[in-house]
């Protein structure tokens, strides 16, 4: 068995008060893909920094294989001393790394390399930081929230790149679908200790719930045992004094165990403050146009948004999602077109930038400096009581915002937003930095909100669970609305593409009938399929199914975390074969679809 690349054992770290890490462990072998999960503030980022050598624990064993290369993706990279993105990325290479790969990775991430790091947007900064850690192809990648601020196309590229890579991986992310696709094992950091599941994140939540249920049963049994011992001490036989002393000592031990047990963290309570019901028509847009410096961002956009609609906006960074939303809620004037807002609208906006004063206290931020109370749904509540709904401790009321983690800041902004009366919620990237439990509650809030929701997100799972329709860019400033969530949109787009191909085939065939050449595969006037086409229609499904079986077998081989260490050549060969078979299957599926459409045309003629 190959030695581990990284081993953290019995790691302990306390910043005053309750220990942050209290016996946490993490072991990573060559080629392993691990999702590191846990609540915001549980210490995930700290454990990853210990793994990267950036933080020293107070106690515990830290081992890093001396010959292994490790790259760590920080949430806030340091750009100082770098004139361009290319210089920043090249500085992350080792002596044996291929400098030519820098240009390839930068290009795949949508950058030129000549950008000034000081002027990068949030999404560009994240892509530059990713390029720096991916270009060297290290033995071990430590990624802290790699999908934050990335658009969907870049997230999907990153998934493919990590699946292709031979690097071992430990990643923290709130993006469920990303974790499901890149992980083969899951480490849960909970109340200072770690538990490991040797399965990918898709299996984690059921396993976690089982663990917590068993823990509750054990605590219940312990409580009943304490009650029995207390009853025996009060009413049992008192003659055998030594035995009584021993049992009294055991009882005190049981009480201490019960008292010091750290229960699972509480659950946030989210509820939007109700406003008067809006009119049935919330927004009516006709022919909206908006350009910047001659570049069209929104072209001839029309929509009717009704009360109760939950609309998702997706697209690459810079496509104009925020611009379109600001046009729709009247924050931004269009170059042309008309906008009509419904009656009784009360709009609450969660801005993507979420600018916070780091010196302001939580209490002051939530109350706008007006005493110690906040009005929620027409009822006055003490700010500390309201903070508890969002998992803040009473002593944090006077804490400066700068001392909060990224997830705590996101919860704080949501707490303030949801205390404002609203019947139209505008949420621009609300899922950034939220842990999965809080994401689940936000999902329920959006689903149950009686008003209307406009939602910008790159979280595919969250979109699928919440929105009733999705608006996406089609290029050149044009936007289209699709029924359902992100997966529904992708399915509809695929269907539309097949229809366009079918229409093009019919059009080309019509031209061919007029004297020009026509593709053999699309003649609508053909009375029957050729023998070769019939044979292909019959045999292609079998070939596709066989390829599916072979792909599953290769995926099973590559899922072995020890394969790369045991036989690196075989790992590379299997990876190459897998890519080739997937490409072949895609080609055969396209061929079968074209022949199937041709068959329908022939039978319908």
Per-residue pLDDT reduced to its tens digit, 262-275: 545 555 565 665 55
pTM: 0.67
d(CA 179, CA 460): 12
Q: Residues 578-591: pLDDT tens digits? A: 878 878 877 887 77
pLDDT at 522: 39
What phi, psi does 318 have (nearest 5°)?
A: 90, 0
pLDDT of 261 above 70: no
- Whether residue 303 lies inside any domain: the answer is yes
Q: Which domain holds residue 559?
A: 491-604
Which CATH number does the domain housing residue 109 bear?
A: 3.40.50.300
517 within a domain of the structure (yes/no): yes
Residue 515 and residue 428 share a domain:
no
Choose from 55-59, 77-81, 258-262 the range with maximum mean pLDDT: 55-59
Whether 523 has a pLDDT exceeding 50, the answer reads no
245 and 337 in a common domain: no
Say how many C-beta atoms besides its own lie within 10 A of residue 594's C-beta.
18
Let me know whether 148 and 224 are in one domain.
no
pLDDT at residue 353, as a whole number: 66
Residue with the bigger pLDDT between 416 and 471: it is 471
Q: Are residues 440 and 537 in the same domain?
A: no
Q: Which residues contact 527 (CB under 8 A, 6 or more apart)?
A: 602, 605
Task: Please indicate whether residue 131 or residue 281 has the higher confidence score (pLDDT).
Answer: 131
Predicted pLDDT at 509 = 54
Q: Judging by DSSP bridges, how do beta strands 469-475 and 310-313 pair with one another?
A: parallel
Asked whether 431 and 350 are in contact (CB, 8 A), the reply is no
Domain count, the chain: 4
Q: Are residues 414 and 318 in the same domain?
A: yes
Is 145 part of any domain? yes
User: What was the pLDDT predicted at 22?
Assistant: 92
- Taking alpha carbons only, the member of 133, 189, 140, 129 closest to residue 166 is 140
d(CA 152, CA 317): 9
Together in a domain, 294 and 384: yes
Q: Which two tokens stand for residue 108?
A: 């795949």
Residues 191 and 300 in one domain: no
Are 98 and 58 members of one domain? yes
Q: How would DSSP label each residue in 525-561?
A: T-SS--HHHHHHHHHHHHHHHHHHHHHHHHHHHHT-T
Same domain for 311 and 237: no
Task: Give me the pLDDT at residue 360, please.
Answer: 92
Beta bridge partners of 18: none
Region 65-72: mean pLDDT is: 94
Among the ranges given (210-214, 280-284, 420-424, 430-434), the one the predictor scored with the smallest mean pLDDT: 430-434
Does the structure show a pLDDT above 60 at 344?
A: yes
Query: b or e along 169-178 (b: 16 or more beta carbons within 10 Å of the residue's beta carbon)?
Result: bbbbbbbbbb
How many residues are listed for the chain in this entry?
Answer: 605
Residues 456-499 pLDDT 10s = 988 898 999 899 999 999 989 999 999 999 988 888 887 776 67
The Cα–Cα gap between 530 and 290 comes to: 52
CA distances to 227, 249, 258, 453 from 230, rounded to whole Å, are: 5, 12, 14, 56
Whether residue 504 sits in one domain with residue 461: no
In a domain, 268, yes or no: no
- 271 in any annotated domain: no
User: What whole-number distance in Å separates Cα of residue 70 and Cα of residue 101?
Assistant: 17
């Amino acid at each position: 068995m190959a030695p581990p690349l990284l081993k953290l054992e019995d790691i302990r770290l306390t910043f005053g008060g309750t220990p942050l890490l209290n016996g946490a462990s993490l072991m990573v072998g060559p080629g392993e893909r691990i999702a590191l999960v846990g609540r915001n503030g549980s210490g995930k980022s700290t454990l990853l920094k210990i793994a990267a050598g950036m933080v020293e624990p107070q106690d515990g064993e830290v081992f890093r294989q001396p010959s292994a290369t490790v790259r760590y993706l920080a949430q806030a990279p340091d750009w100082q001393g770098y004139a361009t993105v290319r210089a920043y990325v090249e500085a992350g290479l080792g002596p044996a790394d291929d400098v030519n790969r820098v240009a390839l990775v930068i290009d795949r991430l949508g950058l030129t390399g000549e950008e000034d790091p000081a002027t990068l947007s949030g999404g560009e900064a994240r892509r530059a930081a990713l390029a720096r850690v991916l270009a060297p192809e290290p033995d071990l990648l430590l990624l802290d929230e790699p999908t934050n601020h990335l658009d969907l196309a870049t997230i999907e590229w990153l998934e493919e790149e990590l699946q292709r890579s031979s690097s071992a991986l430990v990643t923290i992310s709130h993006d469920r679908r990303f974790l499901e696709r890149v992980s083969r094992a899951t480490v849960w950091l909970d109340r200072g200790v770690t538990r490991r599941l040797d399965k990918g994140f898709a299996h984690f939540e059921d396993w976690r719930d089982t663990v917590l249920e068993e823990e509750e049963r054990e605590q219940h049994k312990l409580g009943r045992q304490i009650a029995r011992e207390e009853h025996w001490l009060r009413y049992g036989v008192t003659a055998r004094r030594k035995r009584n002393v021993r049992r009294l000592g055991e009882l005190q031990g049981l009480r201490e165990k019960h008292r010091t047990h750290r229960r699972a963290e509480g659950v946030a309570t989210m509820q939007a403050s109700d406003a008067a019901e809006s009119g049935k028509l919330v927004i009516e847009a006709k022919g909206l146009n908006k350009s910047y410096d001659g570049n069209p961002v929104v072209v001839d956009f029309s929509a009717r948004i009704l009360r109760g609609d939950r609309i998702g906006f997706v697209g690459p960074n810079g496509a104009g999602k925020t611009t379109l939303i600001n046009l729709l809620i009247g924050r931004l004037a269009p170059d042309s077109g008309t906008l009509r807002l419904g009656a009784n609208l009360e709009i609450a906006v969660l801005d993507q930038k979420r600018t916070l004063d780091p010196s302001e206290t939580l209490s002051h931020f939530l109350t706008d400096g007006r005493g110690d109370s906040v009005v929620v749904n027409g009822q006055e509540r003490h700010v500390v009581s309201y903070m508890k709904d969002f998992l803040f401790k009473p002593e944090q009321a006077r804490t400066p915002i700068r001392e909060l983690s990224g997830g705590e800041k996101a919860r704080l902004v949501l707490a303030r937003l949801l205390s404002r009366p609203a019947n139209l919620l505008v949420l621009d990237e609300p899922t950034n930095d939220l842990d999965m439990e809080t994401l689940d509650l936000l999902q329920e809030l959006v689903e149950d909100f009686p008003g209307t929701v406009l939602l910008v997100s790159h979280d595919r799972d969250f979109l699928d669970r919440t929105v009733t329709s999705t608006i996406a860019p089609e290029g050149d400033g044009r936007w289209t609305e699709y029924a359902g969530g992100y997966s529904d949109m992708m399915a509809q787009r695929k269907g539309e593409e097949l229809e366009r191909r079918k229409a093009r085939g019919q059009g080309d065939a019509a031209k061919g009938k007029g004297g020009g050449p026509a593709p053999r595969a699309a003649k609508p006037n053909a009375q029957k399929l050729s023998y070769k086409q019939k044979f292909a229609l019959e045999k292609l499904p079998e070939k596709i199914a066989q390829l599916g079986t072979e792909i599953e077998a290769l995926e099973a081989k590559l899922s072995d975390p020890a394969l790369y260490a045991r036989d690196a050549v075989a790992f590379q060969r299997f990876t190459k074969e897998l890519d080739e078979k997937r490409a072949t299957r895609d080609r055969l599926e396209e061929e079968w679809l074209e022949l199937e459409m041709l068959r329908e045309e022939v039978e319908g003629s």
